[in-house]
Structure 1
Amino acid sequence: MKIRIENSKKKTSLLCGFVLENSTKVLGLGKIDAKTASIIDQSIKDMEGKLGKLNIIPLSEKNSIQRILLAGLGKKEDLTRDTIRAVSGKIAQKARELKLKEFSIIAPPSFVTDTISSVSQIVEGSKMALYKFDNFKSEKSEESPDLTIIVSKSNKIVKAIKNAEIIANSAIFTKGLANLPPNECTPNTLANFAKIISKNNKLKCKVISEPELKKRGFGGISAVGQGSKNRPKLIVLEYNNGPRNEKPIVLVGKAVTFDTGGISLKPGDKMDEMKFDKCGGCTVIGIMKAVSELKLPTNVIGIVPSVENMPGGESYRPGDIIKLYSGKTAEILNTDAEGRLILADALSYGEKFYSPKAIIDFATLTGACIVALGTNVAGMVSNNEKLTKKIYDASSRTTEEVWELPLNQDYIDMIKSEVADMKNVGIGRSAGTITAAAFLRNSIENTPWVHLDIAGVAWTQTSTKEKSYNPKGATGFGVRLILDYLQNL
């Protein structure tokens, strides 16, 4: 999709304008001939500006504008920072359905929502809604139509569109990685993707393989990965564009390229979805790609521990005691609680090696998070109120929703072991999301830290809220959220 800017549209296959509920006008449409205006008036009465409702008005063949599409935004007081993004996605999908080569969207005037935000949402929604994972289909999706945004051109608008394109493309890249099947995406494959984007985007990339992982004491990553012929990797991406002595932000993402549960084997039902257990790591790689392309004036480190959790003769077992990178020991009670083991190693490494000013981790960590919060809100656990507030602020701007869960000494006590420093599961099924986070908390010394459990939001599930820009499969959750956080530091 190519994106252009024009002050007005004189010729297009499809001119799209937004309509508020209980309004009689198309936002920003401007002057139009009396006959067309009469047709539009009747169409507006029919659709009533209801949220997400689309109404197409065909015009005469002699008209330079072949069709007008009216898109309902709902009530003005109910507008969110996601409304235009979601409705723009529906418009883009309709344009492709009509097999158009191009279409135009009129940016709503600033009295509806600020123009920069509107334009960004139009770009993000349109691009992400046209993404389809068809890598393995003989018949590919139709080509995406080009988009013209009707808005007064300025340097700020041009920059906003460029930034929104980078962010949308990085979210799409993340979805594409996460959607890959396990036979096509092993830890080594993921490492190769990281190497490719590092060459194209001036990132530094290093990959620590199994012999060195064992030698350097990454006991969690080594233990979880030892049951698979696809050996574990620790992927590190470095971006340094801030002041030389400025401490970096460290991002850590769980990437279990397939999770059988290991010896503690999962039920067969929906096990195919465990290809999405790498979503946290894919999110980090996608963010690092965007950070470099946006040329943010900061220092960011991405760390991705990647394993395949398989049962086998060399697999780690319930009852094992392993030594983590931090030097602490962990009693294994369930090999399906593997994500916290590899994350613990990566978190300790990130803090020790980079002395960051903040650490944020992403993980499809617990089914308990889905029980607690459903499939539209990520769980958040933190040791720092200021960092938590910044993530909340970013969440409100991007509408990638998060909700903080508590973490006090009582939860930390729930993972104490009688034979090791801690155990890798809590007491029964109680507070599963928080006890998993408590395990991770033991890997952090004093650094401000936020843990995001994205088990419910990383891919579309039965109860996932339908959004045009999140087609079935991986959602890329966290990419827009953290890029907003980084841009507003």
Structure 2
Amino acid sequence: MKIKIESVRSIGKKTSLLCAFVIEGSDKASGLSELDSKTSDLIKQSLSDMGGKFGKITVIPTKSPAQRIVLAGIGKKEKFTEDTIRFVSGKIAQKARELKLKDFSIILPPSSVFDTLSSASQIVEGCKLSLYKFDKFKSEKENTIPELSIIVPKSEKISKSAKISEIVSDATIFTKSIANLPPNECTPTTLANFAKEMAKKNKMKCSVFSKNELKKQGFGGIIAVGKGSKNEPKMIVLEHLKGKASEKPIVLVGKAVTFDTGGISLKPGAKMDEMKFDKCGGCTVLGIMKAVSELKLPINVVGIIPSVENMPSGESYRPGDIIKLYNGKTAEILNTDAEGRLILADALSYGEKHYKPRAIIDFATLTGACIIALGTNVAAIVSNNEKLKQKIIESSKKTTEEIWELPLNEDYMNMIKSDVADMKNVGIGRSAGTITAAAFLRNAINDTPWVHVDIAGVAWTQEATKEKPYNPKGATGFGVRLILDYLQNI
């Protein structure tokens, strides 16, 4: 999608569609006051009819330089959020595609209503993400991607903000495109190849640990989970080291189970197809690393992605097994469908030992319990560090990728203690499933500031997912915009 930032009079803009935002109850559409009287009368009537209600889109044919005018309702002023412009911009972009237009223009809302830099970013994100479709395997593809012009006051800062948002949006789309791939098209090896290709293009260092290397170096969790499949496990390490040599890096870890049957503890057949999305945490890390490189952030960031396919076979690990993890601790296996925490524990320990980071953030579609607790619109976070947690929460509010903190005290740590090993891979019954999974991960690191993000409910659109135009059906790319905001603030 091509995007232009233009400092022109909106009234003279030659475009297929000229759009202005309308506040609920207002009798004006910002940027359209200079239209001829006949068109103005049409706008006044339309304003009266649509009322500026949130998400309401009204198209008015005209004879001015703009072939059509769109009035886009953004609701009541007291209900504005950081998502208002992003959401409505997505609706506008989808309307432009529906009309099969080659281009459309959006007038930036006035600074008296919204911050101009944020608005420009949100328009870009809303439009680009809303026009994404996963049609790789369809015979007939949607080829209409209209060009967007954002009409703004003259400002280099706005252009820069929009360009950053393009890179962030493209990274989110990159994440979605891989996460949406079916399991026969994305094995751990395929995922590693995607990472290598992306790293080469973006001049990052990429290392891929093979099965033999993982076994030799003692990655017991990754080996145990991955050995049931003919598709060998991998661990991908991406390095963006553009900060000071003395500066400790931030390590990002993402779970990438390219397909999860549950192993010997086989999942029910219903909705098992959705387990292609069990790689979303790893895909999120891939997307973040892509954008970090393209934004040329002057910081040190390392992405680690343990990747396996969890399958039942004569080689599979079993309930009752005891395995030794990378950090030397032992884990009793009570359920082979609690596999994500095993591969993440290895990756977390490796990241802490080899990079001595200032912070570790992990992403995982880890527990169905997270969906029971928080539904499908809010991710759970667990942390051992107040300062790091607060920074992530601040970025969550800005990007509207919503998160909610769950506790982790000694009582929860005790729930995963084992009689025959250092710990067990599930807690007591169904109690606090999301927290006991996090407790398992907490055992993998020492005192490094750490945030765990359980994205099981938000990584892809599910039955109760809130409809958002920029989150079309399938993978959502949750976490990419969130963490890129955090990293840019650094």
TM-score grouping bracket, smaller chain normalisation: over 0.9
* Alignment-derived partner of residue 81 in structure 2: 80
* Alignment-derived partner of residue 138 in structure 1: 139
* Alignment-derived partner of residue 162 in structure 1: 163
CA distance in 2, matches of 1:44, 1:293: 42
CA distance in 2, matches of 1:251, 1:27: 42
Structure 2 counterpart of 1:303, one-letter code: I
1:208 corresponds to 2:224? no
Residues 281-322 of structure 1 show CA distances to partners (whole Å, capped at 9, x for unaligned) of: 000000000000011111000000000000001000000000
CA distance in 1, matches of 2:182, 2:32: 45
* Alignment-derived partner of residue 44 in structure 1: 47
* Alignment-derived partner of residue 17 in structure 1: 20
* Alignment-derived partner of residue 285 in structure 1: 286
SS of the residue corresponding to residue 103 of structure 1 reads strand
Offset of 1:154 from its aligned partner?
A: 1.7
Structure 2 counterpart of 1:204, one-letter code: K
* Alignment-derived partner of residue 253 in structure 1: 254
Structure 2 counterpart of 1:424, one-letter code: N
Relative to the length of structure 2, the TM-score reads 0.99
RMSD: 0.6
Structure 2 counterpart of 1:298, one-letter code: I
CA distance in 2, matches of 1:75, 1:278: 39
The answer to whether the 8 A contact 2:417-2:423 is kept is yes
CA distance in 2, matches of 1:143, 1:286: 25
The answer to whether the 8 A contact 1:387-1:448 is kept is yes
Offset of 1:59 from its aligned partner?
A: 1.2
SS of the residue corresponding to residue 396 of structure 1 reads helix
The answer to whether the 8 A contact 1:249-1:300 is kept is yes
1:176 corresponds to 2:193? no
Structure 2 counterpart of 1:445, one-letter code: N
* Alignment-derived partner of residue 437 in structure 1: 438
Relative to the length of structure 1, the TM-score reads 0.99
| Alignment gaps of 5+ in structure 2 | none
* Alignment-derived partner of residue 2 in structure 1: 2
The answer to whether the 8 A contact 2:96-2:146 is kept is yes
1:150 corresponds to 2:160? no
SS of the residue corresponding to residue 74 of structure 1 reads coil
* Alignment-derived partner of residue 466 in structure 2: 465
Offset of 1:143 from its aligned partner?
A: 2.2
Residues 372-405 of structure 1 show CA distances to partners (whole Å, capped at 9, x for unaligned) of: 0000000000000001100100001000000000
Match of 2:31 among 16, 28, 46: 28
Structure 2 counterpart of 1:120, one-letter code: S
Structure 1 counterpart of 2:223, one-letter code: S
CA distance in 1, matches of 2:76, 2:228: 55
The answer to whether the 8 A contact 1:29-1:106 is kept is no
SS of the residue corresponding to residue 149 of structure 1 reads strand
Residues 77-135 of structure 1 show CA distances to partners (whole Å, capped at 9, x for unaligned) of: 11111110010001001000100000000010101110000000000000000000000
Residues 346-379 of structure 1 show CA distances to partners (whole Å, capped at 9, x for unaligned) of: 0000000000000000000000000000000000
Offset of 1:155 from its aligned partner?
A: 1.4
CA distance in 2, matches of 1:456, 1:329: 29
Offset of 1:29 from its aligned partner?
A: 2.8
Offset of 1:142 from its aligned partner?
A: 2.6
The answer to whether the 8 A contact 1:328-1:421 is kept is yes
| Alignment gaps of 5+ in structure 1 | none
The answer to whether the 8 A contact 1:3-1:146 is kept is yes
CA distance in 2, matches of 1:68, 1:355: 56
Offset of 1:27 from its aligned partner?
A: 1.9
SS of the residue corresponding to residue 142 of structure 1 reads coil
SS of the residue corresponding to residue 451 of structure 1 reads strand
1:228 corresponds to 2:220? no
Offset of 1:65 from its aligned partner?
A: 1.2
The answer to whether the 8 A contact 1:376-1:457 is kept is yes
The answer to whether the 8 A contact 1:105-1:148 is kept is yes
Offset of 1:158 from its aligned partner?
A: 1.2
CA distance in 2, matches of 1:116, 1:343: 37
CA distance in 2, matches of 1:14, 1:384: 49
Offset of 1:152 from its aligned partner?
A: 1.5
SS of the residue corresponding to residue 59 of structure 2 reads strand
Alignment of 1:7-406 (within 5 A): 7=7, 8-9=9-10, 10-60=13-63, 63-406=64-407
The answer to whether the 8 A contact 1:96-1:142 is kept is no
Offset of 1:30 from its aligned partner?
A: 4.0
CA distance in 2, matches of 1:283, 1:2: 24
SS of the residue corresponding to residue 74 of structure 2 reads strand
Offset of 1:28 from its aligned partner?
A: 2.9
The answer to whether the 8 A contact 1:218-1:325 is kept is yes
Structure 2 counterpart of 1:145, one-letter code: P
The answer to whether the 8 A contact 1:458-1:477 is kept is yes
Aligned-residue identity in percent: 75
CA distance in 2, matches of 1:392, 1:159: 25
* Alignment-derived partner of residue 413 in structure 2: 412
Structure 2 counterpart of 1:48, one-letter code: G
CA distance in 1, matches of 2:106, 2:173: 21
CA distance in 1, matches of 2:75, 2:442: 43
Residues 188-233 of structure 1 show CA distances to partners (whole Å, capped at 9, x for unaligned) of: 0000000011011111100001001000000000000000000000
CA distance in 2, matches of 1:268, 1:213: 31
The answer to whether the 8 A contact 1:380-1:403 is kept is yes
The answer to whether the 8 A contact 1:103-1:148 is kept is yes
Structure 1 counterpart of 2:41, one-letter code: S
CA distance in 1, matches of 2:17, 2:156: 26
Offset of 1:153 from its aligned partner?
A: 2.7
Instruction: Choose 317-326 or 152-161, whichever is displaced more.
Output: 152-161
